[in-house]
């Protein structure tokens, strides 16, 4: 998925973290009604497509230009977060895609900030571009964010493509028209236990940043079957300092799979702040994550190994020191080696060492 952005996996709840269950005071539960979800402040920006052809090994990247025209330099440096994005360039055989990571840019006043976005992609086969279509950059619904409160300043975004030939020559595309958005305020989604959720158990997640007085919701999107599960909706208290954490429950009966977790903010407008992948696993009998049943074979494998070791040791002793092995066998089960029989007349008929005569006359087996 292209838009895996603003993901911060924490190692714990952290100092000052508050914990809310989904239905606790201060946070509405999964059953709370959701507002209409509209992708505000997302990027969907066309540009002129490349023309002509490329050689094998062409490298393609993108460049961003971001500005906040009304942001005062006296306010000091601020951060603008561009979400991960998908770039599509049209060719004669269909579109080719670049998957660009999210980036934090520093703005200081109205001067534009320009940065190359990556990772760049190298195409092993020659390309022939289709100039009758447009190039496209899309954040796939995820919003631009900034460090200032929502609504304070607008952000202008432009982009251009870049082609680098195998000989090192570079071709720059034209700048796109400016796309002006009002960014959401930065908030980071945190997974104290990692992005693996167990069905039917409490799975913590947290939000960090300047989050006091804001409302967030986590929506789990599954493909088997196709469904959207609102795992929690929480309102952060106005006086909250530090991150706020809550529990999420994946309903019983959900199929284990990789699912998409959509992190939304509800305010006067709705903003999709990030999309991350979450591994959904079944609960084991011990309460932990299931491992597909593989661990149930471990005791049997160990026992089999021990028995084989004992048999090998007995075989070695029998070959190298048979008399030692005889001393380990109970007297009633001992028998003379086949290659060395007892002297004639040493034992009564049908009897062996330490054994009474066999009244049946049958040989000892």
Structural tokens at position 305: 């190994």
Encode the chain (365 residues) as per-residue pLDDT tens digits.
434 333 333 333 333 344 444 433 333 333 445 688 899 999 999 999 999 999 999 999 999 999 999 999 999 999 999 999 999 999 999 999 999 999 999 999 999 999 999 899 999 999 999 989 999 999 999 999 999 999 999 999 999 999 999 999 999 999 999 999 999 999 999 999 889 999 999 999 999 999 999 999 999 999 999 999 999 999 999 988 889 999 999 999 999 999 999 999 999 899 999 999 999 999 884 444 444 444 455 666 667 776 777 666 666 555 555 555 555 555 555 554 444 444 444 334 433 333 344 444 444 33
What's residue 312's pLDDT?
Answer: 62
Rg of the chain in Å (alpha carbons): 35
What's residue 342's pLDDT?
Answer: 41
What's residue 313's pLDDT?
Answer: 60
Nearest CA among 146, 167, 169, 148 for reference residue 157 = 146
User: CA–CA separation, 87 vs 171, rounded Å?
Assistant: 17
User: CA–CA separation, 131 vs 134, rounded Å?
Assistant: 7
Candidate CATH numbers 3.40.47.10, 3.40.50.880, 3.40.50.300, 2.60.40.2950; the one for domain 1-37+187-292: 2.60.40.2950
Q: Are strands 187-190 and 7-8 parallel, antiparallel or unpaired?
A: parallel
Cα distances (angstroms) measured from residue 177 to each of 48, 119, 157, 159, 325? 10, 23, 8, 8, 91
What's residue 346's pLDDT?
Answer: 37
Q: What SS3 string covers 17-55?
A: CEEECCCCCCCCCCCCCCCCCCCCCEEEEEEECCCCECC
Residue 267: Cβ within 10 Å count: 15
Q: Between vectors from CA 204 to CA 202 and to CA 206, what angle results, nearest 5°?
A: 155
Q: What SS3 string covers 269-306?
A: CEEEEEEEEEEEECECCCCCECCCCHHHHHHHHHHHHH
User: CA–CA separation, 103 vs 118, rounded Å?
Assistant: 9
Q: What SS3 string covers the chain?
A: CCCECCEECCCCCCCCCEEECCCCCCCCCCCCCCCCCCCCCEEEEEEECCCCECCCCEEEEEEEEEECCCCCHHHCCEEEEECCEEEEEEECCEEEEEEECCEEEEECCCCCEEEEEEEEEEECCCCEECCCCEEEEEEEEEECEECCCCCCCCEEEEEEEEEECCCCCEEECCCCCCEEECCEECEEEECCCCCEEEECCEEEEEEEECCCCCEEEEEEEEECCEEEEEEEEEECCCCCCCCEEEEEEECCCCCCEEEEEEEEEECCCEEEEEEEEEEEECECCCCCECCCCHHHHHHHHHHHHHHHHHHHHHHHHHHHCHHHHHHHCCHHHCCCCCCCCCCCCCCCCCCCCCCCCCCCCCCCC
User: CA–CA separation, 143 vs 274, rounded Å?
Assistant: 8
What's residue 319's pLDDT?
Answer: 54
């Amino acid at each position: 998925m292209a838009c895996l952005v603003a993901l911060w996996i924490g190692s714990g709840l952290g100092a000052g973290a508050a914990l809310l269950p989904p239905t606790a005071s201060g946070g509405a539960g999964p059953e709370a009604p959701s507002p209409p979800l509209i992708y505000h402040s997302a990027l969907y920006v066309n540009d002129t497509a490349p023309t002509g052809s490329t050689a094998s090994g062409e490298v393609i990247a993108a460049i961003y230009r971001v500005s906040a025209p009304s942001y005062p330099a006296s306010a000091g440096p601020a951060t603008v977060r561009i979400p991960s994005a998908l770039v599509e360039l049209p060719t004669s055989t269909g579109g080719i895609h670049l998957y660009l990571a999210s980036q934090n840019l520093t703005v200081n006043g109205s001067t534009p900030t320009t940065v190359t976005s990556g990772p760049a992609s190298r195409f092993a086969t020659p390309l022939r571009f289709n100039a009758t279509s447009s190039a496209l950059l899309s954040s796939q619904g995820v919003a631009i964010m900034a460090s200032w409160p929502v609504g304070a300043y607008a952000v202008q975004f432009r982009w251009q493509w870049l082609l680098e030939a195998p000989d090192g020559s570079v071709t720059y595309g034209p700048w796109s028209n400016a796309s002006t958005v009002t960014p959401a305020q930065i908030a980071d989604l945190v997974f104290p236990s990692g992005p693996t959720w167990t069905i039917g158990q409490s799975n913590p997640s947290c939000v960090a940043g300047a989050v006091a007085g804001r409302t967030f919701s986590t929506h789990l999107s599954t493909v088997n079957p196709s469904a959207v599960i609102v795992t929690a909706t929480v309102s952060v208290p106005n006086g909250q300092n530090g991150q706020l954490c809550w529990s999420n429950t994946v309903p019983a009966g959900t199929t284990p799979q990789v699912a998409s977790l959509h992190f939304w903010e509800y305010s006067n407008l709705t903003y999709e702040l990030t999309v991350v992948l979450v591994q959904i696993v079944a609960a084991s009998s011990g309460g932990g994550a299931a491992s597909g049943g593989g661990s149930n074979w471990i005791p049997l494998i160990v026992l089999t190994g021990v028995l084989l070791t004992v048999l090998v040791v007995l075989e070695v002793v029998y070959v190298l020191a048979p008399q030692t092995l005889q001393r380990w066998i109970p007297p009633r089960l001992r028998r003379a080696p086949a290659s060395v029989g007892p002297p004639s007349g040493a034992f009564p008929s049908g009897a062996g060492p330490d054994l009474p005569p066999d009244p049946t006359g049958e040989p000892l087996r």
